[in-house]
Structure 1
Amino acid sequence: MLKPSILLILLLLFCSELITAQVKISSWNLQNFGKTKSESEINYVADVLNEFDVVALQEIVAGFGGTQAVAKLADALNRKGAKWDYAVSDPTESTPYATERYAFLWKTAKVKREGRAWLDRNYVAEIDREPYMMDFNFKGQSFTLVSFHAIPKKKQPETEIKYFKFLPGKYPDKNLVFLGDFNIPQSHTVFNPLKKAGYLSVLVDQKTTMKMECVGEECLASEYDNIFYNSGKLKSLNFGVKLIYKSFPNMKAVRRISDHIPVWAEFEFSSEEGQCQ
C-alpha cells in the first residue's frame, strides 16, 4: 500500500498535468503567398512550420491562388505525420492594391477550433487590412488569435494599431493574442495602452525582416513581426525566430520564400478553476 506522502506527490503531479497546458504558436508574413511559391518552396514552408501547434499567416494573395496555396501547404504538412486543418479569410476590405487574405493552420490533435474565423469589422473604416480572428481551445483552455498585417511604415501603421487598445473591451470574455506584421517595433508608443493593460511582446529588439544582401553577419533589417499576449492569463515559456536565411545559399534565394522570418512563442495556460481541489 502506498504511503500517504507518495500518494500526495502522485496526486500533485496528476493535478499539475490537468491544470497546465502548453501551446506553441507561430506567425509568418509569407509575402505574396499564392503568387510566387513553387511546390518545393511550399514544402520548405511546411518543414519550417511543422514543429508548431497553430500558425497564423499574413500576406496571402487575395485571388484564388492564395486559397489554393494554403490548401497545398496544409496537404504538405499532413504528409509529415500529424493531421492539420486550416482556415483562409475572405479578402480584406482594403484599397485594391492592398487587399489580401490571412490564414490559420493548426494540428487537430493538439488544438481545437471553436466556431468560425472572422475578419474583425469593428474598425474596418480605420484599418486598411482588418485583423483576422479565430477562437481555439487547447486542453480546455480557450484563446483567440488576432492576426494582422499593418500598412507599410511610410504610411504610419500606428494610425491603425492605435485601435487595438479597444479590442480587449470589445471582446471582454476572450483571451486575445495579437500577432503578425506590425511594420513598427514593439517599442513604439502606440503599443503603450496594450502594455498598460497587461499585454507583453514576446520579442524585444529582435529584427524580423531580411535585408536584400547581408552586410557581414547582419542579414536582418527591421523589428516588425511580434506576438503580444495577456500576461495575466498566459505565461511565455519560450520564444524566438527561425533564421531561415541560413538554409539558403544567398539572400536572393531565401527571399523567394519571404522577406520576413517566422516568429514563435510557447505559452502556458493555467486553470483558474482548481480542477483537483
Structure 2
Amino acid sequence: MRHPFLLQLLLAYVGVCDVRGVSEFKICAFNLQHFGESKAKKEDVMHTLAKIITRCDVSLLQEVRDSKQKALPQLLERLNKYDIYHKYAAVASERLGRSEAYQEQYVFVYRTDTVTVTGQYQYPDNRPGDVDAFSREPFVVRFKAPKTALKEFVLVPQHTSPANTTKELEALYDVLQHVRKMWKTENVMLLGDFNADCAYLSKRSRQKLRLFTENSLSWLIKDKTDTTVRSTTSCTYDRIVVHGDAFVNAVVPFSAKPFNFQLEYQLTEEQALMVSDHYPVEVLLKNGTAKLSFSLFLISLLTFISR
C-alpha cells in the first residue's frame, strides 16, 4: 500500500460520515404545560420554546390549550423566524377533554422539507364494552420521511389522565392494533406524557398491561430516567415506544433520551418551569441510502488508492 496514512484518514472520515448520516432525523415529544395565550405573550418563554422545538424534524406538542387559536400560529411564526433553514408547519387535533372547562389539543409540528403528512385519524372513544376510555383520544398521524431508513411511519400520541393512567395505557394497545390494520403498517411509534411512573402506575398494574408485556414493543425511554424539571421529583412520565423490528433497527442506538433544556440553556429551575415542568423526550432515526451511497463512494476510493 503506497498511502497508508491517507488510507487511515479516509477510513476515519467514513466513520464520521456514517455517524453523522444516521443522526440527522429527530422525533420529539414535549408536554408544554398549559400552552395558550398567556404563555405565548412571554418573550423569553417563546424564545426558549423555539430553540427546543427547532431541534426536531417532528415534534408532538401536548397540553396545547389554545381556545382562541392564537397561540399556536404565534409559535409557528416564531419557529419559522428562528430557523431560517427549514419551514415549519403543524397539524392539530380537535380540542379534546371530558370537561368544557379543560380541553387540550395534540399538535404535530414538522419540517416541511424533510417530512410530509400522508394521513391523519382522530381515534373515536367508543371501544366495544368500554366507552370513553380516554380523557384525550389519540390523534394519529402518518408521515412520509424519504431520507429516513423507514421512509414512512405512524405516530400515535397520548397524554394520559393521571387518575386513569392504567386504563388509558391498556386502551392504547387497542389503538395500536387498530392503526396497524387500518393503514397496513408495522412502523408505529407511541409517544407522549404517559404518566407511566411513580404514583400513577404501580408495578402490579404494569405487569398486566399489554404495552409492557407484548414482545413486539420496545420502550426506548427507560425506567428511572427523569423527565421532569422539578428537583423535588424524579419520574419517567414521558415515553417513546416503538413497534416491530424494523422500527427498532431504524433507531440510532442509545439516542432516546430527555432533553434537559434547563442545563443546556443555563436556566434556573424557576425559569425552566416557566417553559414547562416536563423535559421533551427525543429519539434519532437513521438516514436512508443517501449517506450509504456516499460511504460506498469513499470505500471505492480507498480501494483505488490502496492498489
Task: Give TM-score, length-normalised by structure 1.
Answer: 0.78
Are 1:28 and 1:180, in contact at CA under 8 Å, matched by a contact in 2?
A: yes
Counterpart CA distance in 2 for 1:266 and 1:207 is 19
Aligned-residue offset at 1:145: 0.9
Which has the greater radius of gyration? 2
- Which of residues 157, 160, 178 is equivalent to 1:147? 157
Shift of the alpha carbon at 1:107?
Answer: 0.6
Which consecutive unaligned segments of at least 5 residues does structure 1 have? 1-15, 272-277
Could you tell me whether the CA contact under 8 Å between 1:29 and 1:262 is conserved in 2?
A: yes
State the secondary structure of the residue aligned to 2:276: coil
> How far apart are 1:248 and its partner, in Å?
4.8
In the TM superposition, what is the alpha-carbon distance from 1:36 to its structure 2 partner? Answer: 3.1
Equivalent position of 2:214 in the other structure: 196
Of 136, 139, 151, 2:143 maps to: 136
Residue 77 of structure 2: aligned partner: 75
- Cα RMSD between the aligned structures? 2.6
- 1:97: how far off? 4.4
**Counterpart in the other structure of 1:56:** 60
- The Cα offsets for residues 92-145 of structure 1, whole Å up to 9 and x where unpaired, read as 142234421110000111111113x33211446111111121110010722111
Structure 2: runs of 5 or more not aligned: 1-17, 290-307
Mapping for residues 181-260 of structure 1, pairs under 5 Å: 181-185=193-197, 188-189=206-207, 191-193=209-211, 195-204=213-222, 205-211=224-230, 214=231, 220-234=233-247, 235=249, 236-237=251-252, 238-246=255-263, 247-260=265-278
- Please give the alpha-carbon distance, in whole angstroms, between the structure 1 residues aligned to 2:92 and 2:209: 27
**Post-superposition offset of 1:221:** 2.5
Matched residue, 2:7: none
Match of 1:118 among 104, 116, 121: 121
Structure 1 residue 229 displacement after superposition: 0.6
1:264 corresponds to which of 282, 288, 291: 282
Alignment length, in residue pairs? 242
Cα shift at 1:24: 1.1
Distance (whole Å) between structure 2 residues aligned to residue 34 and residue 190 of structure 1: 37
- Normalized per residue, which structure has more strand? 1
The amino acid of 1:151's aligned partner reads S
Cα distance change on mapping 1:97 and 1:157 into 2, 3 Å = farther
Summarize the Cα distance change of 1:191–1:46 in structure 2 as closer, same or farther, 3 Å threshold. farther
CA shift, 1:259, in A, is: 0.6
Quote the offset at 1:159 in angstroms: 1.2
1:231-268 Cα distance to aligned partner (Å, 9 max, x none) = 42213212221112223543222111111011000123
How far does residue 207 in structure 1 lie from its aligned partner after superposition?
Answer: 1.3
The equivalent of 1:162 in structure 2 is 170
C-alpha deviation, 1:168, in angstroms: 2.9
Determine the C-alpha separation between the residues in 2 that align with 1:22 and 1:197: 28
Distance 1:159 1:98 in 2: 20
Q: What letter matches 2:226 in structure 1?
A: K
Structure 1, 167-176 or 28-37: larger mean CA deviation: 167-176
Q: Does the aligned pair in 1 maintain the 2:27–2:58 contact within 8 Å? A: yes
Q: 1: distance between equivalents of 2:161 and 2:274? A: 21
